[in-house]
Structure 1
Amino acid sequence: MEKTVNNDWTDICSVTDLTPNAGTCALFNEQQVAIFLCKQSNNVYAIANYDPFGQANVLSRGLIGSTKDIVYVASPLYKQRFDLLTGECLDSPEHKIKTFAVRIENDGVQLKEAS
Structure 2
Amino acid sequence: MTIETTTPTDLGVVWHEICSLKSLSRERGAAALVAGRQVALFRTFDDRVYAVQQLDPFSGANVMSRGIVGTRGDVPTVASPMYKQVFDLRTGSCLDPVGKEPHSLATFPVHVVDDVVSVGLPGGHGAR
Q: Shorter-normalised TM-score: what interval?
A: 0.7 to 0.9
Query: What CA deviation, in whole Å up to 9, does each residue of 1:9-58 have, x standing for no partner?
Result: 1101111211111000000121110001100x431100001101111000
Pairwise mapping of residues 1-115 of structure 1 onto structure 2 (< 5 A)? 8-39=14-45, 41-92=46-97, 94-113=102-121, 115=128
Identity %: 44
Would you say how many aligned residue pairs link Structure 1 and Structure 2? 108
CA distance in 2, matches of 1:42, 1:106: 13
Cα distance in 2 for partners of 1:78, 1:8 equals 33
CA distance in structure 1 between the partners assigned to 2:74 and 2:87 by the alignment:
13
Q: Which runs of 5+ in 1 are unaligned?
A: 1-6
Partners of 1:68 and 1:50 lie apart in 2 by 25
The answer as to whether partners of 2:26 and 2:47 remain within 8 angstroms in 1 is: no
RMSD: 1.5
TM-score (norm 1): 0.87
Q: Which runs of 5+ in 2 are unaligned?
A: 1-12, 122-126
